[in-house]
Structure formats: C-alpha cells, structure tokens
Amino acid sequence: MTATSFNSIQLQQTALTPVNQPLALKQGQVFHGTIKQLFPDQMAEIQVGNQKLIAKLEVPLKAGDAHFFQVTGTSPQTELKVVTGPMAQTTSPTQQMNQLLESMNLPKSTEMQQVLAHFMKAQIPISKEQLIQAEMWLKALPEGISKADALLALQRMVELKMPMTNDVFQALVNGQKTAGMSATMDAFAQLLAKDTVLTENLKQNLLQQVQAIAKPFDVETGSLMLAKSIEILSNSAGSISERLQALNVLKDAGVLPQQATLQNWSTLMANNTKTTQANSMHQAGQIIQTILTAKPENTAQLIEQLKSWTTSQNLLTNEQKQQLNQIIDRFSQLPPSKQALEVFAKQMQEHLIKAFAQNTPERLFTQDSNGLSTKDQLLSLLKHEIATPAQNEASMRNLVKVGIESPQPMIQQILTQADAHVQSSMDSKAMEHALKTVLKSLGISYEASLANKSADLQSIAHQLKPQLHTLLQEVQVTPQLREAAEMLMTRMNGMQLASGESGHQHQLIMQVPLEFFGKKMDATLQWNGRMKDDGKIDANYARILFYLQMESMQETVIDMQVQNRVVTVTIFNENFDIIPLAEPLKAALKIGLAEKEYQLSGVFIKQFEKAKPEKMTAVVEQQEGHSGVDFRI
C-alpha cells in the first residue's frame, strides 16, 4: 500500500526537545556522543545530536572521540561511564551496536537492533529497561501496526517522558493511524446494539452519541421535518387528516406534549407561567414568558427589551422584524393590563412560530449570536421547559427516528423531502458543521472542557468518550463489547498523545469518522505550526495534511502549505481522472481564501509513488500555525 502515513512527516520534523533547552538525562540511560572539549578534574563538554552538556567522566578520554556513554549519576553533577571504546571512522553501525549490546548484556535480536538503531540515529538517550521493554513490544505488534510506526511511538514516549506502559504505547501507535476509525466505530456500534447486559440508560446514551457521529446531519433533517410539520399544523384551511398526522408525529417525538390538540397546540406554551429572568432573554420562548410574567406598570421597559431583541435576531428577515415591531407598537398604544399582555404574548408567539418555521430551510446551518438556530427557537416556543441545545438536538434525532418508523405516506414524504433539501444545501458551512458535530460528539478532549467554569457539564457527560469511561468501569460488560470499547478509547487517547507542543512548535492530530448520505470515510487531519510569543496561533504559516479514505476516490492525501499567507495545495491520488473534476473548483477555492486574506499559489494533483516522497519533505521548519484555515476554505 502506497499510502502516506504520519511517518513521512514526523521523521523529517525537528527533534521534539527544543534546541535551547538543556538535555535532561536520567540515571541508567545510554546515548552516543562526541567529546568536544576537556576540562580539569575529568570534566568534559560532550555533543549529543544538536545539543551539548557538561559532565564528569569516570576515566580520562581524548577530545574528538565518539563513544557510547551511560549515565551513572545526575546530582550534584552529571557523571558518565564509557560503555564502548572510541568509534573509528571505519566502524560500521552494526559493529557499534554489537559492542553496546555486549557491554550492556542485552540480546542481539533483530528487534533489539532495530530499536537501538532508531535511537542511535535520532541521538536520543534511552535506558536499558526501556530498550528491553521496547524489544518486547516490537516482537508482539498487533496486526496492522508497522515497526516504523511503533518506533516513532517509542521515540515519542522516551522524549516526552511518558510512562512506559502498554496502554500508552498502544494509544500512540493507534493514534498515528490514518484509517480504520470508521471500522472501529462500526464494530463497537454493532456490538452495542445487540448488547443485553448494559443498563438501558447507559446503552441508550451511548447509542444516541454513536448515531450523532454516524449521522451528523440528522439534526438538520429533523429541523426541516419540524418546520414542515408546524407549517401544516398552522394551516387552518388544510386537510384535518394531514394536520393530525403532523400533530401526532410531533407528539410521538416528544416535541409537543401528549395533551396537545389541533386547537391548543400553539397555546400550551402561552399558558405556562414559568418565570424567566429578563437579562437572559435569548430564546424566543423566554421572550413569551417574560411578556406573560411582566407587570403592567413595567410595560415601557418590556417594550424596549423586545425591540432590542428583535433588532439583534439574525434568524429573522427584515420584513419579519418589521411585522414584529408593528405588533409591539400596537401593544404599546393599549392601556397596560394583564389581559393585554396575554393577548400580546399570544400574537408574538404565533408570529415567531410562523417566522422561524418559514426560515428554517434557508437558515439550516445558521446560528444567532447566542449559538441558537431556528430549531432551538421553535422548540423554545413549543416546549414548557427551557432545553439546552444538546437536548434540542436529541429531540430532532428522535423526530427523524419517529419519521422513519411512521407508516404514514405523508410523513415519509416530509422525511424524503427533508433529506433531499439537506443534500442540496451542502457547502463549506455544512461541512464545517458536520466536522464540529462529530468532534463534539466524540468528546476526545472532554477532560480539558471540564476546566472551563462555564462548560455545560450535562452536555459533556453525554459525549462518547466520557460514556466509554463509564462503560469500562461497569462490572457487567461482555468481553467482546469491552474489547471494542477499549479499542475505540485507545484510538481517541492516541490522538491526544500524538498531539502536543514543544516550545513554539505544535502538532495537532484528529481523525474523524464521517458518513454522508450512505458514503463513509475516514478523515484525518495533521496540523503542524507555531505559536507566537504572545501565545496565540500565527495564522501566516502552517502545514496541514488531510488523509482521506473515500469509497469513490479511495485514498487521498491533501498537503496544504501556508507560507506568509500564500497557500499551496497538493493533492495525491492514484487516479488522474480527478484533474478535470478539480479544475472548476479552483476558482471557488481562490475566492474563499481571498475572503480570509489568503492568496492561492496553486493546486497540484500528483500520484503517490512518483511525487509524494519529494513533496512531503518540503519546508518543515517553517510550519507556523493557523487559525482554522482548513475549515474556512
């Protein structure tokens, strides 16, 4: 297989240890170094790779000679023992290794020699215990893991002083994979669906998140179904049968309460007198509650708040805002009374329900300044309780589920039309939305979110990774499901461990299992860049690689390099038939980049074997951060 792995990039990146930091040594480590200068009392300056250290030698040596050294002490000063004699110019790497293995009483197995050769070349200190452990892991690599990937994982463990445990090793080697996440997710989902041992609550929560990952546009499909159902319900001149079907599907999905009827479905909310703080009027439902609970003597202040909210609401058209302001103006001319407030609330609610339902198809991926969509506003007007966006998303997925199971032809038609509209609405904003949805549902870095005081803990708890933690702590779990969950957890942990920073240099790795309308693919992003002195990402420089596994195009790698805001894109694929397909898209890419103040230098399409090794070595040391360029394109 000619696929690009992370190795082709990682092997050419600078060492993880910054040059300006002193080399940190631990007792028992061995390394290869050259004596640069000698000082009194057997002190010497020794070069190790691109770094130098001052250490005390057990025996006098000659400047210029290269040796293998072992650390015998670190306090109060570094003390070194010479493990091998000076390396002559004619000494081969194999001879050097054999001398070291003999002096340290280590086995001369193929795996041990491979580990030692790798660390010799990288000039990284490693202890005898680490060598023995590394040899064991290399001998028992799981299927699908190459020795090159394993050696890179070992190097990262040693350099970053990670625990030398099997869990960390497996996470790192799996985190470097550019494919297989979808298969891992599918295997887990199939076992979970058949499981009869887990508690029903945990199983349903897990299934819900798996569904959110597998069907990232189900929420939008449900939003369109909601809007269309409300449109049918609101049409008093429409067929009673169709209006009842629309009512029942919303009741079955839990969007409307069971006591809702054709006559009262839109007034149930208005009858709810739950109090709402005026300073938290974000949802339309809160607006209605504020009107209902307002005191007649506070009418002037209420009108000011309503007009301010209407002006700021980007989910409404200008015409709809004018109509709302007309309703508000008419109310302001009435004598203040409780009855006037109730009539006013009913008028506002009916108008807002109609407006948000009408706008849903054109604002499918649009949110207001508070992160709310038309579906969130609609649900706030229909439900008694104020729900979180996560709860609203669950309601929409449930609505799609009810629609799929419905035997009614009209409901099936609404579902089909909603699916078709979502497909026709696919653009860069939709793709960004899908990626964010999947990443949020996975919860790969949920631990970091917990540190945010304003984080929605309930939403975080429902993400997949924290729920996998819960599952793995359960006693009653079948061995097969536990193994599948552990594999999935290993892949997620691997992404975190493979990502990281070293000084100003940063690396981020994300793998996202995507499914769009029956088409599955693994999308892996590897970003390398730098942080500026103020701690912010420098958007002028970056190197971003996308590894895509797609059903039609098969394996595709996109190498995007940003140098001083000039973008060069190289696409690697075995099929040259994609060249004419890509040509019309270049103009759109150029315009999209220009809108973000980037300049497109060129788009090149090349085959893997002929071009990839040459291009993948380009300009690694000038990778310097970005701010979401990949999504903004």
397 and 308, same structural domain? yes
- Please report the pLDDT score of residue 181 as a whole number: 83
Q: Which two tokens stand for residue 141?
A: 């690599």
Last residue of a domain, one of 402, 429, 456: 429
- Please report the pLDDT score of residue 220 as a whole number: 93
255 and 121, same structural domain? no
Cα 258 from Cα 362, distance rounded (Å): 30
For the segment 104-143, what is each residue's pLDDT rounded down to a tens digit? Answer: 888 889 899 889 888 888 888 888 889 999 999 999 887 7
- Please report the pLDDT score of residue 491 as a whole number: 86
Cα 273 from Cα 283, distance rounded (Å): 16
Calculate ∠ Cα 625-631-633, nearest 5°. 95
If pLDDT is split at 50, 70 and 90, which confidence band does 280 have? low
Tracing tokens 């159902």 back to the chain, one arrives at 229
Last residue of a domain, one of 159, 179, 197: 159
CA 156 to chain centre: 22
Domain count, the chain: 3
> DSSP letter string over 407-430?
--HHHHHHHHHHHHHHHHT-SHHH
Burial class of residue 302 in the structure, from the number of CB atoms within 10 Å of its CB (0-12 exposed, 13-18 middle, 19+ buried): buried
3-state secondary structure of 261: coil
457 in a structural domain:
no
125 and 233, same structural domain? no
Q: How far is CA 65 from CA 34, 38, 260, 507, in A?
A: 6, 11, 89, 37
For the segment 357-370, what is each residue's pLDDT rounded down to a tens digit? Answer: 999 999 988 888 88
pLDDT at residue 333 tops 80: yes
pLDDT at residue 238 tops 80: yes
3-state secondary structure of 288: helix
337 in a structural domain:
yes
Burial class of residue 60 in the structure, from the number of CB atoms within 10 Å of its CB (0-12 exposed, 13-18 middle, 19+ buried): exposed
Q: Which two tokens stand for residue 136?
A: 């064991």
> DSSP letter string over 17-69?
S-TTSPPP--TTEEEEEEEEEEETTTEEEEEETTEEEEEEESS---TT-EEEE
AA identity, residue 150: A
- Please report the pLDDT score of residue 275 as a whole number: 42
Cα 237 from Cα 257, distance rounded (Å): 23
Q: Percent of the chain, pLDDT > 70?
A: 85
522 and 373, same structural domain? no
- Please report the pLDDT score of residue 361 as a whole number: 93
For the segment 545-566, what is each residue's pLDDT rounded down to a tens digit? Answer: 888 877 777 788 899 999 999 9
Cα 311 from Cα 483, distance rounded (Å): 54
Which residue would you say has higher pLDDT here, 65 or 309? 309
β-strand pairing of 79-82 with 505-516: unpaired
Cα 351 from Cα 474, distance rounded (Å): 50
Q: Which two tokens stand for residue 627?
A: 């701010």
Mean pLDDT value of segment 354-383: 90
The CA-based dihedral angle spanning residues 281, 286, 289, 295, taken in that order and rounded to the nearest 10 degrees: 0
240 and 373, same structural domain? yes
- Per-residue HEC secondary structure of 182-248 comes to HHHHHHHHHHHHHCCCCCHHHHHHHHHHHHHHHCCCHHHHHHHHHHHHHHHHHCCCCCHHHHHHHHH
393 in a structural domain:
yes
CA 464 to chain centre: 12
Cα 226 from Cα 221, distance rounded (Å): 9
Number of residues in the chain = 633
315 in a structural domain:
yes
168 in a structural domain:
no
267 and 154, same structural domain? no
- Please report the pLDDT score of residue 184 as a whole number: 87
Report the CATH number at residue 89: 2.40.50.140
61 and 141, same structural domain? yes
Q: Which domain holds residue 28?
A: 17-159
pTM for the model: 0.69
- Which of 44-53, 271-280, 361-370, 552-561 has the weakest average pLDDT? 271-280
389 in a structural domain:
yes
Cα 172 from Cα 166, distance rounded (Å): 10
Straight-line distance from the first to the last Cα atom of the chain, in angstroms, rounded to the nearest whole number: 30
- Which of 4-13, 17-26, 131-140, 419-428 has the weakest average pLDDT? 4-13
Q: Is residue 410 left, alpha or beta, with left meaning phi > 0 and alpha meaning psi from -120 to 50?
A: alpha
CA 513 to chain centre: 10
327 in a structural domain:
yes
